[in-house]
Structure 1
Amino acid sequence: MKNIGQLMKQAQEMQAKMATMQEELANLTVEGHSGGSMITVTMNCKGEMRKIKIDPNLVNLEEIDILEDLIMAACNDAKAKAEARVSEEMAKITGGLKLPGGMQLPF
């Protein structure tokens, strides 16, 4: 069994790795698509929107509701991919460490 000093050292190392990972997440991007890629949203893995690209064929004032729905779907797709990427990166750092009852690491 590890002594408390070793556990504290490991916790400090994990904290440093998490700080580095948070910086890296701001630079990692994912794309979400909707409408057969007629709408593309790019966001970083911290959930910040970086770019929206709309196929010019979609711009029709009579179909603005469809355009708005497609943008929302693309945003949600990108956010889900960002959350999945964050989980993958966290698993690399924690090595599968299960945190007790509802405890979460800061983001």
Structure 2
Amino acid sequence: MFKGLGGIGDMAKMMKAAQEMQEKMARLQEDLARTVVIGESGAGLVKARCTAKGEVTGLDIDPSILVPSEKEVIEDLIIAAIKDAQGKAASRGQQEMAKLTEGLGLPPDFKLPF
């Protein structure tokens, strides 16, 4: 009688799975915004704090390097620390995303929007 309706159940399952995935992605985004990573340069003389989403939230500079004649070196160390923190943030985000998509049967290098 309802021969062609078998696909509706499958569609409902797919919609529910998509909604669950969307909820998991939202939770992951919130977790990444709260997760802090620290990048360093100059053997720890400059440290940058960053969320796992890549937002720089703080900077710690050892006072021993605050010499006016070393301005360019300090600037380079700050940039290097920020890049290190952002690199760690990106890596952390990719790891968490891989955990989330692991059971979906997607290729390992499949990119979902952040």
- Measure the CA separation in 1 of the matches of 2:106 and 2:89: 21
Report deviation, 1:5. 2.9
2:42 is aligned to: 35
CA distance in 2 between partners of 1:70 and 1:20 (Å): 34
Corresponding pairs, count: 104
What does the per-residue CA deviation read over 1:27-60, in whole Å, with 9 as the maximum and x for residues that have no partner? Answer: 1000000000000000101111111000111001
> Match for 1:14 among 8, 17, 21?
21
Q: Identity of counterpart residues, as a percentage?
A: 44
Distance 2:62 2:73 in 1: 13
Alignment of 1:72-83 (within 5 A): 72-83=79-90
| Cα separation, 2, equivalents of 1:104 and 1:7 | 20
Structure 1: state its 5+ residue gaps. none
Compute the displacement of 1:93 (Å).
Answer: 1.1
Q: Normalising by the residue count of structure 2, what TM-score does the alignment of the two structures yield?
A: 0.82
Instruction: Give the partner amino acid of 1:93.
Output: L
Runs of 4+ residues over 3 Å off in structure 1 = none
Q: Distance in 2 between matches of 1:46 and 1:21?
A: 10
Max Rg structure:
2
- Distance in 1 of aligned mates of 2:57 and 2:33: 10
Q: Which has the higher helix share?
A: 2
* TM-score (structure 1 length as normaliser): 0.87
